Each structure stands twice: as C-alpha cells, then as structure tokens.
Structure 1
Amino acid sequence: MQSPLFNYAEQQSQERYVVQNPQLLRVSLAGQDDILARKGAMVAYQGLVDFDGEYQSSNQRRTRSHTGEGLDLMRCSGQGTVYFANLAQYIHVVDVDQDGMTVDSAYVLALDSTLHTEVIAVDSQYGVSGTGKYQLNITGRGKVALMTSGQPLMMQVTPDKYVSADADAIVAWSSGLRVQMQAQTHNASVRRRRGDTGEGWELSFLGTGFALVQPSEVMPPQNAAIGQGIAAQYGVGGNGAHGQNQSNVWS
C-alpha cells in the first residue's frame, strides 16, 4: 500500500515528551515515573501501559466544586509509548522550574506525576461579588503539556514593561509575576463589558516572567443569555467563578 499518509509515521526520539505534530503529543513511559493526563485524551498507545483514574482527595473535590478549577486526570503507567490529543488543539511542552507556572486547568493536557498542583485565586481589584478568577498553580520540576486554540503568543514581562491580557484568552504565566484582575471601565459599569467594545475583564502582569496568550476567547457570544436571570447574564452564581462554568470562568 502506498500513500502520502506514510509521511505521518511516528517520530523516533529519546525524549520523554515529543510533539509528534502540532496537535498530537507522544510520551514515552519507561516503567518509572508515571504520567498524569487529561481523562479521555489517549488516542493510541504501544507497549504495556495501564490507565487508571487518578484519586482525588476530599479537599480537592471540595475545592473544585467551589471554584470550578482543578484537574480531572488519569494515571498512565508501565512501559511503552502513549499518544495524547484533545479536540485537535495545538500542543506545547513546558519545563516547569523552581519559579512555578500558573495555568487555567482547561488547557492542561498532561504533566509529570512528580509535579504539585494547587488552586489559587486571582481577585478583582473591585471586590465585586462573583468576579475574580481561579487558576491552577504548578510547582516542582518536570514537564507540562499545554493546549491552545490556534498558535499562541508568548509575551515577555519585565519590570519596565508590564503586560495585560484578556482574561478569556490568557492560558498561563510565570507564578512569580504580580497579577491583578481589572476592567478599564467606570464604577457603574464594572459588572458589564466595556461599553460597546465587547471587551471585559483583563489580567495585568508585573515583574519578570512570561504570559502565554491564545488567539481565541472561549466565551459565550456577547449579550448571550446564559442560564436564567440577571445574575446569569453577569456570570454570577451558577455561571460565575463559584459555579459550574468549569471550562471558562468568564465573570
């Protein structure tokens, strides 16, 4: 059999994490350190590999139910090669060092089991009920595979050049950065998007590090009625940071 499809054969590499193509991740298991991956993200594997649901403590389950932030993972162990993907999103491998990385858990595809994760809060400067954003802080030494909708933009943050990004487009940033969630609007309009611009909450980063932004804002259409009542329209309550809008906290 002959076909141009054979140009997409497996890549041979000694690296543990290999981006097989922009939307497919290849991970090698050697029977020692396990891999934690997004549930259901395995698309193929070779060798003797076991897949088990990852245990969540009562505190982790409680935190996720209150914040909507957290990882729903499976543990991959054994010896072989596993391929991961999710909705044909673009995949990027990041080395986490002692500085740590903060990320929206919706964009995590896989990570080394040796890394530690913890849910943290990014509060709004206005203190408005239902506003703010919860994120996942990843610390330790290891690799994390992130996903983006489209090819991302990596922005450098320095003491003399701070960066602001739409809260719906930001994917990850250096944990050492100082972060503030804000909206460039006036007091009476804090709860709604900025006038007729369609822009809403943003995160501002100061210090030294990076901010990773994707060319997509995963959010409801402007003025869409999500849920019921005025609270739902503003992302408060069931559709806010404390609700079930897990894939995109857009308050």
Structure 2
Amino acid sequence: MQSPLFALTEQRSEDRYVVQNPQLLRVALSGQDDILARKGAMVAYQGLIDFDGEYQPQNRRRAGARTGAGLELMRCHGQGTVYFANLAQDIHVVDIDHDGMTVDSAYVLALDSALHTEIIAVDTQYGVSGSGKYQLNISGRGKVALMTSGQPLMLRVTPDTYVNADADAVVAWSSGLRVQMQAQTHSSGIRRRRGNTGEGWELSFLGQGFALVQPSEVMPPQNAAIGQGLAAQYGVGQQGAHGQNQNNVWSR
C-alpha cells in the first residue's frame, strides 16, 4: 500500500513537548513527571500509560463550585508517548517561569503537574459575556500547551504601550499585568450581546508583559442561532464560552 500519508510519521525529538503538527501535540512521559490534560483530549498513545479521569485538586474543586469556572483534567502517568488534540485547534507550547500566566481555561490543552493553578477574578463591575470574569492563573516552572482558533497574535505590553483587546478574543496574558474589563461602547443596549455596534466588552492591559489574542471570538456571529432565553442572548450555558460548542460551530 502506498500513500503520501505514510510521510506523516511522528516527530523525532528529545523534547518532552513536541508540536507534531499545528493541531497535534506529542508528549513524552518518563514515569516520573505526570502530565495533566483536558479530559477527552488524548487521541493516541504508545507505551504503558495510565489515565486518571477522576483527578481534581481540592482547592480547584471548591473554587470551581463557587465560581462556575474551572478545567476538567485527567492525570497521565507512565512511560511512553501520548498525543493530544482538541477539535483540530492550533496548539502552542509555552514555558512558564516566575512571571506566571493567566489564561481562560477553555484554551488549555495540557500542562505539567508541578505547576500551580488557581481560579482568579478579573476586575470588573459587570458580568462579561463570552469571556467570563473568572480565569485560570498558572504559576511555577513548567510547560503549558494552549489552543487557539487560528494563528494568534502576541501583543507586547509596556508602561508606555498599553493594550486593549476584545474580551472574546483574548486567550492569555502575563499574570503581572493590571487588567480591567470595560464596555467598548456607551450604548444603553450594551447589556445585549455587543449592543448594536458589533462590539461588546474589552480587556485593558497595563504594565510589563504580553497579551495573546486569537483571530476568532468565542461568541457566535451576529444573527446566529444560539438557543433561547436570556442565557442564550449572552452566550452562556451549553452554547457559551464554557459550553459544549468550543469550536465556534454555529448555525444561522
């Protein structure tokens, strides 16, 4: 049997995290350091690997129950190679250092188990559609694999150059930045999804660090069918940012 498919073999590398292709992550396990991955993200593995789907740190379980935010993880342990993917989204590996990173948990694919995570609130006087006002803060030393819908843009933030970004497009930012949510319009209809301007809420970043945005918004396009009632209007619940539709698949 012959096919160009046989050229798509696994990448040979000594690195623990390898982006096999833009939508597929390869992680090597040595039996010592575990990997935490999004539940259901494993697409293949080689070797002797155990997957614990009941893993949930006590502090994150309490915080998730209180805020409605969080990330369902499975612990991967053993010796071998595991491949992860999620809805063919683009994958990017980030080295976390002393600066730390804050990220919407919807964009986390996998991370080193040695990293510390906690749910934090973003400063706002309103509830924000799409993004949600609770985010995941990651600190310590290790690697995190993030997902984006399309190739993202990394924006540098300095004391002289602050950044504003659509809250529905923001993926992650440096934990040391000062962040505030605000409306992009003064329309009295702003509490409707994006009011009547096509825009809605934004995040303002000040300080020294970075902000990562993707070329896709969590919210569906205008006039999309997203269900019924107030929750559907704001894009929450099953069709919202943290619902089942995580690949921006919407019907008109």
Would you call these one fold, judging by a TM-score over 0.5? Answer: yes
Amino acid paired to 2:161: K
1:221-240 map, 5 Å = 221-222=221-222, 229-230=229-230, 233-234=233-234, 239=236
What residue number does 1:175 align with? 175
Provide the residue aligned with 1:52 in structure 2: 52
Name the structure 1 match of 2:97: 97
Deviation (angstroms), 1:68: 2.9
Q: Which residue of the partner structure matches residue 139 of structure 2?
A: 139
Relative contact order higher in (CA < 8 Å, ≥ 6 apart)? 1
Deviation at 1:197, TM superposition (A): 2.2
Instruction: Tell whether the 8 Å contact from 1:225 to 1:233 is kept in structure 2 after alignment.
Output: no
SS in 2 for 1:188: coil
Q: CA deviation at 1:100?
A: 0.5
Could you say which residue in structure 2 is the equivalent of 1:21? 21
SS at match of 1:61: helix
Partner of 1:246: 242
Q: Label 1:4 to 1:172 Cα distance change in 2 as closer, same or farther (>3 A).
A: same
User: Matched residue pairs, number?
Assistant: 242
Equivalence map 1:146-225=2 (5 Å): 146-186=146-186, 188-193=188-193, 195-222=195-222
Distance 1:187 1:197 in 2: 8
What is the aligned-residue identity percentage?
A: 80
Quote the Cα distance in structure 1 between the aligned partners of 2:229 and 2:162: 37
**For the Cα contact (< 8 Å) 1:68–1:246, is it kept in 2?**
no
* Cα distance change on mapping 1:179 and 1:110 into 2, 3 Å: same
CA contact 1:24–1:85 (8 Å) conserved in 2: yes
Q: CA offset at residue 58 of structure 1?
A: 5.4
1:110 aligns with 110
Q: Deviations over 1:16-62 (max 9, x none)?
A: 00000000000000010000001111111111111112432555334
Question: 1:42–1:59: structure 2 CA closer, same or farther, 3 Å change rule?
Answer: same
Q: Is the 8 A contact 1:30 1:80 kept in 2?
A: yes
State the shift of 1:173 in Å.
0.4
Deviating more after overlay: 64-73 vs 111-120: 64-73
Query: SS in structure 2 opposite 1:211?
Result: strand
Q: Cα RMSD between the aligned structures?
A: 2.5
Q: Give the match's secondary structure for 2:216.
A: coil
Structure 2's unaligned 5+ residue stretches are 246-252
Instruction: Give CA deviations for 1:169-194 in whole Å, capped at 9, x if unaligned.
Output: 10000000010100132273442355
| 2-structure distance, mates of 1:85, 1:29 | 17
Please, what TM-score do these two structures have when normalized by structure 2?
0.87
Matched residues in 2 for 1:86 and 1:7: separation?
Answer: 23
C-alpha separation between the residues in 2 aligned to 1:97 and 1:205? Answer: 20
The partner residue of 1:128 within 126, 129, 137 is: 126
- SS at 2:56 equivalent: coil
SS at match of 1:63: helix
Task: Please report how far the alpha carbon of residue 69 of structure 1 lies from its aligned counterpart in structure 2 after TM superposition.
Answer: 1.8
Q: Distance in 2 between matches of 1:138 and 1:129?
A: 23
How far the C-alpha of 1:159 sits from its partner, in A, is 0.9
Judging changes above 3 Å, is the alpha-carbon distance between structure 1 residues 161 and 227 closer, same or farther for their aligned structure 2 residues?
A: same
Amino acid at match of 2:203: L
Aligned residue for 2:70, secondary structure, equals: coil
Q: Give the match for residue 2 of structure 2.
A: 2
TM-score (norm 1): 0.87
5+ residue gaps, structure 1, are none
1:85 aligns to 2:96 (yes or no)? no
Matches of 2:26 and 2:43 in 1, distance apart? Answer: 10
2:65 corresponds in structure 1 to 65
Residue by residue over 1:130-183, the C-alpha shift from the partner in whole angstroms, topping out at 9 and shown as x without a partner, is 776110000000000000001111111111111111111100000000101001
Contact 2:219–2:241, Cα closer than 8 Å, also in 1:
no
Q: C-alpha separation between the residues in 2 aligned to 1:129 and 1:49?
A: 41
Q: Deviations over 1:80-127 (max 9, x none)?
A: 011100100000000000110000000000000000110011132xx2
